[in-house]
Amino acid sequence: MGLVANNDFTKYDGLHANLRTKHLSNEEVAYITWEMNARYYDYEWLRYNKVRRLYPRWFAKEMLRLAPFYAQRKLALALRLRTRQDFFREDLERGELCKGVT
C-alpha cells in the first residue's frame, strides 16, 4: 500500500503522523491533528478539567507560562502577521504536539 510515510520507526514517537492516506499527505494529516488538538484545548477546557483541582501549583505555573504565548499568537493572527500554517510548522520544528491557536 505504501501509506507509511517514514519507515525509520526510531523517529516515530506515537504523537506525530507517520502515515498518509490516498488523498492526504502525512503533513496534512499532522496539520488536521494539530488543529483538532488546538480546538479541544480551548478556554472551555480550562474551566472543566480536573488537572486544575488535582495539581493547582503546576496548573498555575503552566498558565503563567502559556498565557503570553497564546496571546501573542492570537494577536499575530488577528493582525494577519502570521497564519495557522506558520504556527503549525513552528510547532512541528520544535517537536511540540500542539500549541495551536483557535
* 3-class secondary-structure state, position 102: coil
- Could you tell me if residue 34 is inside a domain? yes
pLDDT of residue 23: 80
More confident residue, 93 or 41: 93
- Could you tell me if residue 22 is inside a domain? yes
Question: For 49-88, how does the pLDDT look when each residue is reduced to its tens digit (9 = 90+)?
Answer: 888 889 999 989 988 888 888 889 889 999 999 999 999 8
Q: DSSP secondary-structure letter at 10?
A: G
- Could you tell me if residue 75 is inside a domain? yes
CB contact set of 91 (below 8 Å; sequence gap of 6+): 34, 97, 98, 99, 100
pLDDT of residue 61: 92
Task: For 47-78, give one letter per residue: b (16+ CB within 10 A) or e.
Answer: eeeeeeeeeeeeeeeeeeeeeeebeebeeebe
- What type of residue sits at position 74? K
* Whole-angstrom distance, CA of residue 64 vs CA of residue 47: 16
Yes or no: say if 20 and 14 are a contact pair by the CB < 8 Å rule.
Answer: no
- Could you tell me if residue 52 is inside a domain? yes
| Range of the structural domain that residue 64 is part of | 9-94
pLDDT of residue 86: 93
**How many folded domains does the chain comprise?**
1
Question: For 14-50, how does the pLDDT look when each residue is reduced to its tens digit (9 = 90+)?
Answer: 666 666 677 877 788 888 888 888 887 777 777 778 8
pLDDT of residue 76: 94
- Could you tell me if residue 4 is inside a domain? no
Residue 101 has pLDDT above 70, yes or no: no
